[in-house]
Amino acid sequence: MSAATLTAPPAPAVYTAPDAAYERAFAAIAARSGEPAALRQLRRSAFAQLQQRGFPTSKHEEYRQTNLAAVLQRSAFALPERPGAATLREAERAAQPGAAFGGPQLTFVDGHFTPELSRLKSLPAGVRAGALLAANDAGDDRLAPLGELADIGGENTMVAFNTAFFGDGAWIEIAPGAQVDAQIEIVHVATGGAGVATMAHPRHLILAGRGSRAKVVETYLSLNGAAHLTNAVTEIFVAENAELEHARLQQENTAAYHISAVHSRQAADSRLRLHALTFGGALTRNDVVTVLHGPGAEALLNGLYVAEGRQHVDNHTVLDHAEPRGASREYYRGILDGQATTAFRGRILVRPDAQHTDAVQSDKNLLLSSDCTANADPQLEIRADDVRCTHGATFGQIDEEALFYLRSRGVGAEMARHLLIFAFAAEALGRLNPSPLRTRLETELFSRWTGLTPPEGAEASGG
């Protein structure tokens, strides 16, 4: 037997390099003038990382259930032109749900800030907000924290993809001690291309000052049924004793590809609530990484995903307990129908110094069809010896006893089934603090499954 016969086969490629279309698109971005030198260098470094590493394939353990390379290389996505007046009028109608909340709103169309569709003239006291790439005020370097949490050299090369190509994003700063009751909206509308699939890379920075309190909602919408890619990155800094609630609502069309990364860092005694609400998209990949970087920090990760037809949803989370006396709660709920597939991979990391950590993780899935598939991989990595941590995942169908109970009280079979589906979703909605967003979603989902309007004053409850 020859030596060649004994040679081990090459290891499977876990990344695929971007093709020439993306290289041409980046060359056009690099040729632009007017951006700060530091940002231009960051973009070049990010694209170099992307060229070297490429898009993740299903051979990569972190993407075993979701082959992003196959999507991104099957047809290269193009950067869209700035929308014209007619398109902006359509985008304004699409963004109306956010406008109904009445608070501040930053609106982006295909990744570009659109001031005429935004509401920033009367910001609440203690709030500064605007476009990330807007000309900086004196002493206001809003680009300085960019990439501090979402590292272009990390395992998630989609962050490098975003950093190289992002058109703009929201910059929100909550002053120390500010108590903001208004819900701050970030609305992104994808217009879809004419005969070509387009892409947008929103990039957001949120800074909550010491002792502040605020709510921020990101909403992602499609203008039509055209295929498009959204690859969004949000970095959140929560200072000592601050409280921030952040929700990402994905309601794009079922031909869209949606990839997101939310990276956050919490200081001592801070409280952060992160909600991932996924109702659209052909393929969705949500990455959430939060570091409890100060003693006594508390975090809630709350997810609700609804998938039907051939939709695919992948939620990937990391809760990093770096300091003592931290507490985290992670509750994800999935509702699957048709041939939908979902994946959940949640990792809780407790570092050696993080004594007295209290962490709970749970992923529950309601399967409405025999053809849908749910995958779960809950993980605990504990390096401290005085902690309390639990995790688990469940899969099941509608509870027959609960169904019988409703039927025995005169509720029809179909209505009883829909009420139980809504009750399952309401458990996740109830973890949203009372807000216009929570009320709107309760109304929309109740109507979606029952065809009725929820009784006035009815509220979901959640732990």
pLDDT score of 2: 41
- Statement to judge: residues 329 and 406 lie in one domain: no
Q: Which of 398, 425, 449 is the last residue of a domain?
A: 398
> What is the spatial distance between Cα 402 and Cα 203, in angstroms, rounded to a whole number?
44
> What is the spatial distance between Cα 281 and Cα 312, in angstroms, rounded to a whole number?
8
User: Residue 168: pLDDT above 90?
Assistant: yes
pLDDT score of 1: 38
| Mean pLDDT, the chain, integer | 91
- Statement to judge: residues 215 and 279 lie in one domain: yes
By three-state DSSP, how is residue 335 classified? Answer: strand
User: Residue 309: pLDDT above 80?
Assistant: yes
pLDDT score of 125: 96
Band (pLDDT 50/70/90 cuts) for residue 32 is confident
Q: Which of 398, 415, 430 is the last residue of a domain?
A: 398
pLDDT score of 5: 47
Residue 246 within any structural domain of the chain: yes
- Statement to judge: residues 423 and 383 lie in one domain: no
> What is the spatial distance between Cα 396 and Cα 387, in angstroms, rounded to a whole number?
30
> CA 208: distance to chain centroid?
19
pLDDT score of 379: 94
> What is the spatial distance between Cα 171 and Cα 133, in angstroms, rounded to a whole number?
9
- Statement to judge: residues 310 and 325 lie in one domain: yes
- Statement to judge: residues 189 and 123 lie in one domain: yes
By three-state DSSP, how is residue 199 classified? Answer: strand
User: Which domain range does residue 419 map to?
Assistant: 399-463
What six digits make up the tokens of 455? 């009784």
Among 87-101, 185-199, 413-427, where is mean pLDDT lowest?
Answer: 87-101
Residue 118 within any structural domain of the chain: yes
- Statement to judge: residues 317 and 455 lie in one domain: no
Q: Taking the alpha carbons of 98, 102, 103, 106 in that order, is the dihedral positive or negative?
A: positive
Band (pLDDT 50/70/90 cuts) for residue 284 is very high
Give the mean model confidence (pLDDT) for residues 390-415: 92
Cβ neighbors of 397 (< 8 A, separation 6 or more) are 366, 367, 368
pTM for this predicted structure: 0.93
> Are 57 and 91 a contacting pair, CB within 8 Å?
no
By three-state DSSP, how is residue 4 classified? Answer: helix
Band (pLDDT 50/70/90 cuts) for residue 160 is very high
Give the mean model confidence (pLDDT) for residues 282-293: 98
Band (pLDDT 50/70/90 cuts) for residue 283 is very high
Q: What percent of the chain has pLDDT over 70?
A: 92
- Statement to judge: residues 404 and 391 lie in one domain: no
> CA 101: distance to chain centroid?
21
Residue 31 within any structural domain of the chain: no
pLDDT score of 139: 62
Residue 361 within any structural domain of the chain: yes
User: Residue 372: pLDDT above 70?
Assistant: yes
By three-state DSSP, how is residue 126 classified? Answer: coil
Burial of 161-178, coded b for 16+ CB within 10 Å and e otherwise, reads bbbbbbbbbbbbbbbeeb
Residue 9 within any structural domain of the chain: no
Residue 85 within any structural domain of the chain: yes
How does pLDDT run across 207-247, given as a tens digit for each residue?
Answer: 999 999 999 999 999 999 999 999 999 999 999 999 999 99
User: Residue 4: pLDDT above 50?
Assistant: no
Give the mean model confidence (pLDDT) for residues 282-307: 98
Residue 60 within any structural domain of the chain: no
Q: Which of 349, 382, 398 is the last residue of a domain?
A: 398
- Statement to judge: residues 446 and 388 lie in one domain: no
> What is the spatial distance between Cα 190 and Cα 228, in angstroms, rounded to a whole number?
7
Q: How many domains does the chain have?
A: 2
* CA atoms lying within 13 Å on the CB side of residue 16: 16
CA 216 → CA 129, 291, 366, 404, distances in Å? 11, 19, 29, 41
User: Residue 282: pLDDT above 90?
Assistant: yes
> What is the spatial distance between Cα 167 and Cα 409, in angstroms, rounded to a whole number?
56
Burial of 301-325, coded b for 16+ CB within 10 Å and e otherwise, reads bbbbbbbbeebbbbbbbbbbbbbbb
Residue 243: count other Cβ atoms within 10 Å of its Cβ.
20
User: Residue 146: pLDDT above 80?
Assistant: yes
- Statement to judge: residues 328 and 405 lie in one domain: no
